[in-house]
Amino acid sequence: MKISKFNPNYQTKTENFIKEIFKEMGWQNTYLYGIDNIQNTFGGNRDIFLVVVNNNMVEGCVGLKELSKEKALIKRYYLSSSLRGKGIAQTLFKKLKAFALNKDYKHLVLDTQLDNLRAQAFYEKTGFTAYKPKPQKKWPESEHPKIFKYYQYDLKKNRDNS
């Protein structure tokens, strides 16, 4: 298993993996936007997208997208069920955090489905705190608090935490 920066060779496998996660979780396809061209969606110089490749299959991913000079949005943070609970999500987060610190972000934000209690427990254990964002066009989920729960991570406060 390896974690690497996204390259276009992984496009189809990553897109199919994300669609499978949505199907497994019973999520609305409305929120599948941006996966048809991951390189473009996460292509800014302050963006990154990582994939977990196992036996030549994408079995995990996470992206970081610039929202503002100080704030980045974590999107598409998924692991296949066979890799959950093995510390891989924590490793992905450490890589994202290092990237975010290098790009001088101050806060990371994300959303999760209200009923996704497993993800919420992970975020809280990792140091994220619940908050209410202002709706933003760059972040469509921020406009739907009846569907999503929102978290924020203070990079300065948690700089030294692993």
Looking at the 3D structure of the chain, how many domains does it have?
Answer: 1
Tokens of 46: 């302050």
Q: Is 104 within the bounds of a domain?
A: yes
pTM for the full predicted model: 0.95
The pLDDT of residue 87 is: 95
Rg (CA), the chain: 15
Mean pLDDT of all residues in the chain? Answer: 95
Q: Is 162 within the bounds of a domain?
A: no
pLDDT in tens, 79-130: 999 999 999 999 999 999 999 999 999 999 999 999 999 999 999 999 999 9
Q: How confident is the model at residue 160 (pLDDT cuts 50, 70, 90)?
A: low
Q: Is 159 within the bounds of a domain?
A: no
Q: At residue 162, does pLDDT exceed 90?
A: no
What is the CATH classification number for the domain harbouring 44? 3.40.630.30
Q: Is 160 within the bounds of a domain?
A: no
Cα separation, 43 vs 59, in Å, equals 21
